[in-house]
Structure 1
C-alpha cells in the first residue's frame, strides 16, 4: 500500500515537473537571448568607441572588453543572464575561430612565404619558451603567462581565444590575456611607426620586421602601412605565416595536455572540432573561393566583419568574468613578462632582418 502511494506521489511530482518544464525552458531561453543581447550591446558600443580618434589604435575588441570589465566592477556579474553570456564566451568564440580561417591564404603562405615561415617558427618558439622561462623567474602566473606567450608568438587575441579551450584556461585568464596583448601590441605598433623614419631599414625590411614581431594582424597593418603598399603586403604575408602556425601548435597543445596529465586520465577531453572547421575554412578560402566559386568582395568583407563582431562578443563574455582584485593580483607580473619578451623579440628580429 505504502509503495503504491509512493509511486502515486512520484507520478504526481513527475507530472507537475513536466507541466512546469515548458515555462522554465521558456525562461531559460529568454535569459539566454538577453545574455547574448547584452554581449551584443557591449560589442556595438566597442565598435562605436573605435570610431573616436585615439581609440581606433586599440580596436573594437579591446574597447568592448574593457567596457565589460568596467561593468563587472561597478554592477557585478549579470548572474540572471549567465547562460547567454557563457554562450557568447564559448559557442560564439568557436564560431568566430572557424570563420577566421577564411582570412588565411594557405597557398600564399606555403608557396611564397616559406622563408618568412621559418622566421615565423623562430618567433613562435622564442615567444612561448622565453615567456615561460621569464614567468618562472619572476614567479608570475604560469597559466596567464602561457597564454601571453602564445598570443605574442602567433596572432594575439585570436591565438589566445583558440588555445584557451584546449588548455582549460579560465575565462578570466583569457580575458586578461587578450586585454594585455591589445595594450602592449598597440603601444609597440605606435612605437614602430614613430621610429620608422630613423631606422636603417628599407621599406621591405621594415615590413618584414613588423610582420614577424608585432602581436596582431591589425598591429602589423598599423605599423607597416606608412611605409607603403609593398611593405604592408610583405608584413601581412609574414604575419599570415604565424597565423598558419596556430594549426599545428593547437594540436601540439592537445597532445601535451594529455601527455602531462593536465587532463585527468579518466576525463574526456572535448575534441576541438572548431579547429577542424578552421582548417576547412582555410582550405576553402585558399583553394576554392575565387578559383571555383566567385564570391563578391562585399560578401567576403561582410563575413570578415561578422567574424570580428562575434569574436568581440565572445571577449565581452569573458571580460565580465574579470575582477579588478584578481587583475591586481595576477596581471602585474605577467604584464612585465609580456613587455620584456616583446622588447627582446623586437630587438632580435630587427637584427635578423
Structure 2
C-alpha cells in the first residue's frame, strides 16, 4: 500500500523572535498615524515647490506645521510619529545631504574662498556665543543659534542637539528663528547686492556665505541667475561641510566639561558621556566621501536628493508642530535679538570676504 512521505514539521519559531516581531509591529502601529501626516505634508510641500520653484519645500512644511499647531488640536495618537519625524527622520535626511557634496567642487572655489568660509563659520559662532552671553541667554540656546545661523540651519541645530541633548523648547526656538531670519534674507540679499553694485556671481557668493538654509540659498540664487545659483550652492555646501569638525570640537568640549564636573553631570545621560561626533554626522561624512570618489551614479544622487528633501520636509513639519506662539512670549525678545545680531555678523563676514577675494 502506498503511504505518502510525511511532510516535515516546521520548527516552531523561538519565543524571543515572536516577541520581537510583536514589539516591532506594535511600534510601527504606534508611529504610523503621525508619520502618515508628516509624509502627506511633505508631499504637499513638494507639490507646492513644483508649482512655485522659488518656494522651498522645507519652508512650506514648517509654516504648515506652525499654522496647524496654533489652529488645530491634534489627537494624541499622532504624537509618537511626529516625534519620530522630528529626530530620526531629520538625522537620516542629514546623512543623505552628504551625497549632494563633492569636495572637489568646494576646493575649486580657490583657497581664498575656502578661508572665507572657515572665517564665516568660526567668526559667526564665536561672535554669536559672545553676544548671547552678554544678553544673558543660556549656554545651550546660544550654541544652537550660533551653529544654526553660522553653518546650515536646522541640520546644524539637530547636530548640536545630538551632542548636548538640548531641551525641546530650545531646539524648536532655534529652528523657528532660522526659518524667520533666513526667509527675510531671501528678498534682502538681492536688493542689497544691487544697491552696493555686486555682480551676480559676487552676489551668489555672498548669498552662499550668509544665508542659513540650503533651500533659502537656492531661492536667492534662482532670482540672481544660473551663474550665481551655482556658486551660491557650492559656497553654502562648503559651510555644510564644516558641520563635522564643529561637532567634533563641541563634543570634545562637552566631554571634558562633564568629566571635570564628575559623575553627577554624566548621570544626566545615564552615566554615559556624549558622543564626540553624533553617528548621523559620521554618516554624513561617509556620504560626502563616497560622492567625492565619483562612484555614485547620477540617478542615485538625484534619487537621494528627492529622498533627502522629503525626509527634511517631514522633519520640518514635525518641528513646526512644536512651535507655539505662546512659546515666543515665554522665551522673550532676547533670542530674536541674538538671531538678528548673528545674521548681521555672518552676512558682514561673508560680504567682506567676498569683496576681498573677488
Normalised by the shorter chain, which TM-score bucket? 0.7 to 0.9
**CA-CA distance at 1:58 after TM superposition:** 5.5
Structure-2 residue corresponding to 1:36: 35
State the Cα deviation string for residues 161-196 of structure 1 (Å, max 9, x = none). 222221212333323322221221121121111233
Identify which of 243, 247, 253 aligns with 2:244. 247
Query: Are the counterparts in 2 of residues 98 and 277 from structure 1 also a CA contact under 8 Å?
Result: yes
Query: Are the counterparts in 2 of residues 89 and 315 from structure 1 also a CA contact under 8 Å?
Result: yes
**CA-CA distance at 1:153 after TM superposition:** 0.9
Structure-2 residue corresponding to 1:185: 182
Moved more, 160-169 or 108-117: 108-117
**CA-CA distance at 1:216 after TM superposition:** 2.1
Structure-2 residue corresponding to 1:340: 341
Structure-2 residue corresponding to 1:301: 302
Structure-1 residue corresponding to 2:8: none
Query: How far apart are the structure 1 equivalents of 2:233 and 2:21?
Result: 52
Q: Using a 3 Å threshold, how does the CA distance of structure 1 residues 302 and 331 change in structure 2: closer, same or farther?
A: farther
Identify which of 51, 62, 79 aligns with 1:82. 79
Structure-2 residue corresponding to 1:315: 316
State the Cα deviation string for residues 128-165 of structure 1 (Å, max 9, x = none). 12222222222345433321211111112222222222
Query: How far apart are the structure 1 equivalents of 2:128 and 2:105?
Result: 30
**CA-CA distance at 1:76 after TM superposition:** 4.2
Moved more, 130-139 or 307-316: 130-139
CA RMSD, 1 decimal: 2.8
Identify which of 233, 236, 241 aligns with 1:236. 233
Structure-2 residue corresponding to 1:93: 90
The TM-score with structure 1 as length reference comes to 0.82
How many residue pairs are counted as aligned between the two chains?
A: 328
Q: Using a 3 Å threshold, how does the CA distance of structure 1 residues 199 and 84 change in structure 2: closer, same or farther?
A: same
Identify which of 61, 66, 69 aligns with 1:64. 61
**CA-CA distance at 1:306 after TM superposition:** 0.9
Query: How far apart are the structure 2 equivalents of 1:288 and 1:21?
Result: 40
Query: How far apart are the structure 2 equivalents of 1:348 and 1:273?
Result: 31
Query: How far apart are the structure 2 equivalents of 1:322 and 1:269?
Result: 30
Query: Aligned pair 1:284/2:290, yes or no?
Result: yes
In structure 1, list runs of 5 or more residues that go unmatched. 1-18
**CA-CA distance at 1:70 after TM superposition:** 3.0
State the Cα deviation string for residues 98-144 of structure 1 (Å, max 9, x = none). 11100111122235443212111111122112222222222345433
Query: Are the counterparts in 2 of residues 171 and 318 from structure 1 also a CA contact under 8 Å?
Result: no
**CA-CA distance at 1:259 after TM superposition:** 1.4
Structure-1 residue corresponding to 2:281: 275
Query: Aligned pair 1:146/2:143, yes or no?
Result: yes
Structure-1 residue corresponding to 2:122: 125
Query: How far apart are the structure 1 equivalents of 2:110 and 2:331?
Result: 38
Say which SS state the counterpart of residue 169 (structure 1) adopts.
coil
Say which SS state the counterpart of residue 163 (structure 2) adopts.
coil
Query: How far apart are the structure 2 equivalents of 1:330 and 1:51?
Result: 36
**CA-CA distance at 1:57 after TM superposition:** 5.4
Query: Are the counterparts in 1 of residues 101 and 292 from structure 2 also a CA contact under 8 Å?
Result: yes
Q: Using a 3 Å threshold, how does the CA distance of structure 1 residues 234 and 95 change in structure 2: closer, same or farther?
A: same
Query: Are the counterparts in 2 of residues 156 and 178 from structure 1 also a CA contact under 8 Å?
Result: yes
Matches within 5 A, 1:153-168: 153-168=150-165
The TM-score with structure 2 as length reference comes to 0.81
Q: Using a 3 Å threshold, how does the CA distance of structure 1 residues 238 and 296 change in structure 2: closer, same or farther?
A: closer
State the Cα deviation string for residues 264-301 of structure 1 (Å, max 9, x = none). 33421464221221111111111133xxx5x244x422
Query: Are the counterparts in 2 of residues 151 and 181 from structure 1 also a CA contact under 8 Å?
Result: yes
Query: How far apart are the structure 2 equivalents of 1:93 and 1:36?
Result: 12
Query: How far apart are the structure 2 equivalents of 1:51 and 1:233?
Result: 20
Say which SS state the counterpart of residue 154 (structure 1) adopts.
helix
Query: How far apart are the structure 1 equivalents of 2:199 and 2:20?
Result: 68
State the Cα deviation string for residues 213-256 of structure 1 (Å, max 9, x = none). 22222333333344443333332222222111111111111112
Query: Are the counterparts in 2 of residues 58 and 186 from structure 1 also a CA contact under 8 Å?
Result: no
Structure-1 residue corresponding to 2:197: 200
